[in-house]
């Protein structure tokens, strides 16, 4: 059942190229110009009416939502709030009949997400769109519209292919929303769709970083702390990298918006602390390099994640892992893979139960 892999998690990490491809299949028009989302019944008119979006989710799905916000706002300029379901529900959210609610849940059964969705409906939101991996799940049944992520069953408690396919679903929706609203950003859609189609093959290439990541994970497996830093979308991916590491390796990890380090956390950067620095956002690259210099100066061991062909970053950091070039906008889909591998190999090196980390359940059906 593990298809020759030692754990479900590593199997599922390797399934990502296919999962991404399956989630894209039949959702891009043949001429590559438009998104086709026949399953979404929202009409053009209804989409034009929407003036605010709330994305609600937990854990890894919430991290996907943060990327979704950036994608939707960039292409449509409609403001998006990304909320943790267990907070949203009790926050007296401001919802009108022009608010579109997007709930993201791999299982479609997460109690907090379900309760938040019901609360949003009760308060009279325009519509609920669910992004889920389980056809027929409670969330899928109660939502007005559903975009299924075709990741296939995810067994490992640590979510991997669900995250990358949630990102794909969110990019597709952002493009669709832009195209139907005929926004300025809609002009970018064909280029984005073209880049999306290349992601499965590129993800396959990123999987080849496994041996280097494994060596790094083994060397640092006895550390108690690790930091993930990035700016913009790299920060969103950092959050996911840190969660994954904590969840299965039990190494304390923090994700930091790199510019925020000097407002407190830099105090924790001492000799030998591993820092994973993401540098895929071109417009923030120089700023990111300065932040890396700050942690290097305190003795951190820096592993950078950068684009293939980056000739600069190696001069500043200790080790570089590269990913093939795509639009910086889509970088999270590729950048998350080495971070998933890092968590996996650190967990293995520490002798943990990778697929069933302590205290956690795959589907959290209690609040």
Return the number of the residue (61 or 238) whose C-beta is nearest ligand M6R. 61
Rounded to a whole number of angstroms, the minimum distance from the CB of residue 7 to ligand M6R is 14
Q: How far is the CB of 243 from ligand M6R (least distance, A)?
A: 6
Q: For residues 308 and 173, give the distance between their C-alpha atoms in angstroms, rounded to a whole number.
A: 28
* Residue 107 contacts ligand M6R per CB under 6 A: yes
Interaction between residue 159 and ligand M6R (CB under 6 A) = yes
> Does residue 101 interact with ligand M6R by CB under 6 A?
no
**Smaller CB separation from ligand M6R, 157 or 341:** 157
Nearest to 19 by CA among 205, 155, 161: 161
Give yes or no for residue 59 binding ligand M6R (CB under 6 A): yes
Instruction: Say how far apart CA 187 and CA 101 lie, in whole Å.
Output: 25
* Closest residue to ligand M6R, based on beta-carbon distance: 59
Strand 99-105, strand 127-132: pairing: parallel
Q: Which of 140, 288 has the CB closer to ligand M6R?
A: 140
Counting contacts by CB under 6 A, is residue 247 touching ligand M6R?
A: yes
Q: Which of 16, 23, 61, 281 binds ligand M6R (CB under 6 A)?
A: 61
Map the footprint of ligand M6R across residues 214-243, applying CB under 6 A: 243
Instruction: Assess 110 for contact with ligand M6R (CB under 6 A).
Output: yes
Q: Which is nearer to ligand M6R, 58 or 126 (CB)?
A: 58
- Is 157 a residue that touches ligand M6R (CB under 6 A)? yes
- Is residue 158 a contact point for ligand M6R (CB under 6 A)? yes
We find the least distance from the C-beta atom of residue 342 to ligand M6R, in angstroms, to be 14
Site for ligand M6R contains 23 (CB under 6 A): no
CA dist 55 → 16, 50, 199, 315, 319 (Å): 24, 14, 24, 39, 36
CB of 45 to ligand M6R, least distance (A): 31
CB of 136 to ligand M6R, least distance (A): 14
Contacts with ligand M6R by CB under 6 A: the residue count is 16
Active site residues: 362
Residue 105, interface with ligand M6R (CB under 6 A)? yes
Cβ proximity to ligand M6R, 159 vs 179, nearer residue: 159
User: Where does this chain bind ligand M6R (CB under 6 A)?
Assistant: 58-61, 105-107, 110, 113, 157-159, 243, 247, 363-364
């Amino acid at each position: 059942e593990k298809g020759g892999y030692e754990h479900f998690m590593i199997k599922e990490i390797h399934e990502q190229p296919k999962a991404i491809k399956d989630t894209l299949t039949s959702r891009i028009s043949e001429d590559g110009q438009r998104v086709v989302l026949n399953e979404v019944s929202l009409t053009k008119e209804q989409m034009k009416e929407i003036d605010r979006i709330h994305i609600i989710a937990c854990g890894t799905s919430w991290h996907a939502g943060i990327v979704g916000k950036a994608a939707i706002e960039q292409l449509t300029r409609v403001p998006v709030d990304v909320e943790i379901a267990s907070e949203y529900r009790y926050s007296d959210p401001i919802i009108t009949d022009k608010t579109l609610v997007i709930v993201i849940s791999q299982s479609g059964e997460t109690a907090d997400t379900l309760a938040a969705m019901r609360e949003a409906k009760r308060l009279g939101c325009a519509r609920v769109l669910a992004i889920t991996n389980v056809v027929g799940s409670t969330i899928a049944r109660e939502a007005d519209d559903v975009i299924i992520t075709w990741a296939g069953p995810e067994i490992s408690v640590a979510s991997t292919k669900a995250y990358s396919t949630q990102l794909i679903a969110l990019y597709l929706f952002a493009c669709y929303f832009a195209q139907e609203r005929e926004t300025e950003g809609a002009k970018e859609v064909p280029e984005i769709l073209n880049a999306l189609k290349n992601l499965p093959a590129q993800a396959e290439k990123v999987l080849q970083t496994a041996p280097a990541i494994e060596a790094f994970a083994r060397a640092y497996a006895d550390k108690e702390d690790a930091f993930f830093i990035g700016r913009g979308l790299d920060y969103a991916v950092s959050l996911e990298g840190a969660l994954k590491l904590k969840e299965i390796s039990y190494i304390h990890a923090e994700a930091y918006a790199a510019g925020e380090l000097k407002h407190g956390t830099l105090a924790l950067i001492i000799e030998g602390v591993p820092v994973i620095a993401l540098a895929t956002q071109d417009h923030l690259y120089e700023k990111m390099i300065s932040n890396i210099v700050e942690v290097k100066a305190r003795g951190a061991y820096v592993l950078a994640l950068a684009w293939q062909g980056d000739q600069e970053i190696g001069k500043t950091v200790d080790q570089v892992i590269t990913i093939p070039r795509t639009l910086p906008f889509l970088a999270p889909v590729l950048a998350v893979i080495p971070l998933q591998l890092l968590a996996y190999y650190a967990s293995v090196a520490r002798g943990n139960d990778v697929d069933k980390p302590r205290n956690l359940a795959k589907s959290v059906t209690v609040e």
